[in-house]
Amino acid sequence: MTQVDWRLEGEWLKSCNCAWGCPCDFNARPTNGECKGFLGMHLGSGHFQAIKLDGLTFFVVVHFPGALHEGNGEAQPIMDERATPEQRDALFQIMSGKHSAEGTLFHIFSLIVTKMHDPVFAAITFEFNKDARTARVVVPDILESSTSPIKNPVTGLPHRIRVVMPEGFEHIEGEIASADIRSTGAITFDSKASHSTLANVIQTPEGVAA
């Protein structure tokens, strides 16, 4: 691994077309046989070498024809239009996996994605409240998603559940919620009342620090 100093700290959101609980987190097959979804972060702080990444937001829309570990995935990055050319390159360097240890998020991503669509640079609306299990993502003409608490089917009250993965490569602890998704970019799909994870995450070259 090339030793490069980078760090991403912020609000993490992953939403997909699977049932609540995300089978991928349990090394199980996708609910519907294939995985379509998106994941990404709003950075409270971050850097790649001397390049500051504070305040930027990025997502990646993905499609895997089967279980993630089987690969053959496709992806389309969505990056904050406010990012400078240097910041864009820095984020692409991180996402490439070239500067990450084996078995970490971006390294794994580089192995299981075989088709990368052209990136989108756009205004990204991002709202996030982990404790309330609510989030909203809007990228005009590309992606719209809303996250809300899972409801108890009898009482209608919010149902709270967390997933804790001490050795997780995406996050350590995430709040589980329900997502409605409409993706109209290179990877198209619609999903209602499907899985969503909200977490606060620190990613480094050696993996998840928190």
Tell me the domain boundaries of the chain: 6-65+73-208
- What pLDDT does 3 receive? 73
Give CA–CA dist 106/137, Å, rounded: 22
3 state SS of 140: coil
- The H-assigned helical ranges of 24-152 are 85-95, 105-112
Q: Could you tell me the CA-to-CA distances from 154 to 88, 159, 196 in Å, in that order? A: 47, 11, 21
Beta bridge partners of 145: 137, 181
Give CA–CA dist 89/95, Å, rounded: 10
Residues of the chain with pLDDT under 50: none
- What pLDDT does 46 receive? 98
Q: Is the dihedral of CA 117, 123, 129, 134 positive or negative?
A: negative
Question: Which tokens sit at 122?
Answer: 């756009």
- What pLDDT does 2 receive? 54
Give residue for tokens 């279980």. 67
- What pLDDT does 210 receive? 82
**Pair 76, 118: CB distance under 8 Å:** yes
- The H-assigned helical ranges of the chain are 85-95, 105-112
Give the residue from 107, 76, 79, 78 showing the smallest Cα distance to 94: 107
Question: Which tokens sit at 135?
Answer: 């989030």
**Pair 72, 65: CB distance under 8 Å:** yes
> Could you tell me which residues come within 8 angstroms of residue 151 by beta carbon, excluding any fewer than 6 positions away?
157, 158, 159, 178
